[in-house]
């Protein structure tokens, strides 16, 4: 199976790295969907991130902590939270590029920024995006499991993939 990912609006977010969605999607498929001994490719699996919303909450706590010389932070009070909501879909296509099924999932995450018991302000946005995407993929996994018996014959009927790029796609990140 050829595996591709389109980061969509996630690429514009300040959290996840451009290669994170593809790396996570490949890992998910290789661990849970694709047979490890199968080397032939009979179709395409494409991850598309359709919506991303990241909110930083608790910023007012920072002002209060600066006034108190960061004493609350020393005792573990968070500086802020990064909350990310992601909607993603997985498109399964045969070797001709015909869409066989679309499976969607939503993921949310909340990562706190704190001195000792949280993450730094540079690491928290990426972690929030990755955790939300992982949850969305976890919601898609059971959908793929139930559709596997229907998809397998359709993928085999389409024949092997000759071209290693996704048909009809301008970008296969």
Residues 47-97: tens digit of each pLDDT: 999 999 999 998 777 778 888 887 877 777 788 899 999 999 999 999 888
Q: pLDDT at position 131, please?
A: 96
Q: pLDDT at position 164, please?
A: 58
* Integer Cα distance of 81 and 114 in angstroms: 9
* Integer Cα distance of 65 and 70 in angstroms: 5
Secondary structure, 3-state, the chain: CEEEEECHHHHHCCCCCCCHHHHHHHHHHHHHCCCCCCCCCCEEEEEEEEEEEEEEECHHHHHHHHHCCCHHHHCCCCCEEEEEEEEEEEEEEECCCCEEEEEEEEEEEEEEECCCCCECCCCHHHHHHHHHHHHHHHHHHHHHHHHHHHHHHHHHHCCCCCCCCCCCCCCCC
Residues 105-119: tens digit of each pLDDT: 999 999 988 877 778
Residues 121-162: tens digit of each pLDDT: 889 999 999 999 999 999 999 999 999 889 989 888 888 887
Q: pLDDT at position 169, please?
A: 45
Of 139, 140, 142, 131, give the one whose Cα is nearest residue 108.
131
- pTM equals 0.84
pLDDT at 12 over 50: yes
């Amino acid at each position: 199976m050829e595996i591709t990912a389109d980061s969509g609006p996630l690429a514009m977010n300040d959290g996840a790295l451009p290669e994170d969605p593809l790396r996570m999607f490949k890992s998910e498929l290789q661990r849970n969907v694709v047979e490890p001994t199968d080397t032939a490719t009979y179709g395409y699996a494409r991850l598309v991130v359709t919506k991303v919303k990241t909110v930083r909450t608790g910023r007012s706590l920072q002002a209060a902590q600066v006034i108190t010389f960061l004493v609350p932070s020393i005792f573990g009070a968070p500086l802020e939270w990064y909350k990310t909501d992601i909607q993603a879909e997985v498109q399964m296509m045969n070797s001709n590029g015909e869409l066989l099924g679309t499976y969607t999932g939503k993921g949310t995450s909340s990562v706190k920024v704190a001195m000792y018991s949280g993450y730094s302000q540079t690491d928290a946005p990426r972690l929030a995006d990755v955790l939300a995407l992982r949850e969305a993929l976890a919601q898609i996994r059971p959908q793929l499991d139930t559709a596997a018996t229907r998809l397998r014959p359709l993928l085999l009927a389409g024949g092997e993939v000759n071209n290693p790029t996704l048909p009809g796609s301008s970008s296969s990140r």
